[in-house]
Amino acid sequence: MIEFSSVTKRFADGTVAVDSLDLTAATGELTVLVGPSGCGKTTSLRMINRLDEATAGIIAVDGQDIRSRSLTELRRGIGYVMQHSGLFPHRTIGGNIATVPRLLGWDKKRIAARVDELIETVGLEAGMAARYPHQLSGGQQQRVGVARALAADPPIMLMDEPFAAVDPIVRKRLQDEFLALQGRLGKTIVFVTHDIDEAIRLGDRIAVFGDGGRLAQFATPDELLAAPKNDFVIDFLGAEPQLKRLSLISARMATPIDAPLIEVGASAEAAVAAADKAGTDWVLVLDDRRIVGWHRIEAYRADTARGAERFDAVMGAGATLRAALGALVISPLGVVARTDGEGRFDGLLDQSSLHRALS
């Protein structure tokens, strides 16, 4: 883990960029530093690999003060993705990615294989290895920055706004790919952004910095949204923190309500009994646990039951509570059905299910 204890950075001109920072980035977790421009995020990152030296306090990696280690040895274990990608303009993409392996003296074949592998890992095309940075889009350059930092497979990654140069749609895709990659690699990552939504999506823990390099709150995304510590954090979280919380929680966490279920072809008595038991005036019709549709119970009572009406409020296995809410607000019955990976019925949620899951 990476541990900041009362770390202060005061630059020569007197600017205090970071003020008595206490923070622990746990091994294998993604810790996000977020906050307004100039609050000391980049400086905090640069102190970990000693591009900036702390003025006071101690930074320890795996329990060892980083000043007691040689710079080369320390940096060998740390991949650094610079703000604005920071690629070497006169080196090809392949050459950029190969930077650290070359410094480590890997042989040519091993380097070439690693470059090919990483270009694929970050979702670029093989042919791009021979191009120069200016021949790539901003988002592609940022991917190269990530590939370069991963090259020697360091256990620690410092990433400074790696997805800042791309539009929201590409950013969301990069974030998804990055989360999947981190799921496989399990690196210890300190990730800087000024985008609170990115922080909430990616972070295991989030450090919200205030002005003057002071830590305003350090918490999990859910804790932060559920219990922001002060007005600064509330302000920084932006509108609708409860909706943001919904998007963090899987719909699988919600406890389903009693559902009025009948099998296709069931009798009117069975339908009435199911509806009475669940306290509804309708039933949901299943065929081998797949949703066929729904019926008003009146239709059964009047013995006019014909084909079921379509039931559209259905969400898949990976849905969040936010998706459930989205489906709920347009569901005429005020309920949404959850399905499993195979599309089979897996419970009915209503507003109270969401409420209970949140509290």
Ligand X SMILES: Nc1ncnc2c1ncn2[C@@H]1O[C@H](COP(=O)(O)OP(=O)(O)OP(=O)(O)O)[C@@H](O)[C@H]1O
Site string for Mg ion, 29-48 (x = CB under 5 A): -------------x------
Where does this chain touch ligand X (CB under 6 A) — which range of 12-20, 100-108, 199-207, 235-243?
A: 12-20
Chain-centre distance of CA 71, in angstroms? 31
Alpha helices in 53-167 (DSSP H): 71-76, 93-97, 99-103, 108-121, 138-150
Cβ-closest position to Mg ion: 42
Q: How far is the CB of 8 from ligand X (least distance, A)?
A: 12
156 touching ligand X, by CB under 6 A: no
The count of chain residues that interact with Mg ion, using the rule CB under 5 A, is 1
- Within 211-270, which residues bind ligand X (CB under 6 A)? none
How are beta strands 188-193 and 30-34 bridged, if at all?
A: parallel
Q: How far is the CB of 158 from ligand X (least distance, A)?
A: 12
Judged by CB under 6 A, the residue of 7, 17, 82, 199 near ligand X is: 17
193 touching Mg ion, by CB under 5 A: no
Q: How far is the CB of 93 from ligand X (least distance, A)?
A: 25
Q: What are phi and psi of 320, to 5 degrees?
A: -100, 170
Distance CA 118, CA 120 (A): 5
Where does this chain touch ligand X (CB under 6 A) — which range of 13-21, 110-118, 236-244, 286-294?
A: 13-21
Distance CA 187, CA 207 (A): 18
DSSP string, 13-46: TS-EEEEEEEEEE-TT-EEEEE-STTSSHHHHHH
Q: How far is the CB of 209 from Mg ion (least distance, A)?
A: 11
- Within 191-220, which residues bind ligand X (CB under 6 A)? 194
Site string for Mg ion, 139-168 (x = CB under 5 A): ------------------------------
Distance CA 348, CA 359 (A): 19
Residue 220's binding partner, choosing from ligand X, Mg ion, none, with beta-carbon cut-off 5 to 8 A by kind? none
Distance CA 189, CA 263 (A): 50
Order of all β-strands in the sheet with 261-263 = 261-263, 282-287, 290-296
What residues contact residue 304 under an 8 Å CB cut-off, 6+ apart? Answer: none
88 touching ligand X, by CB under 6 A: no
Residues that bind Mg ion (CB under 5 A): 42
Residues lying near ligand X in the complex (CB under 6 A) are found at 11, 13, 15, 17, 37-43, 83, 194
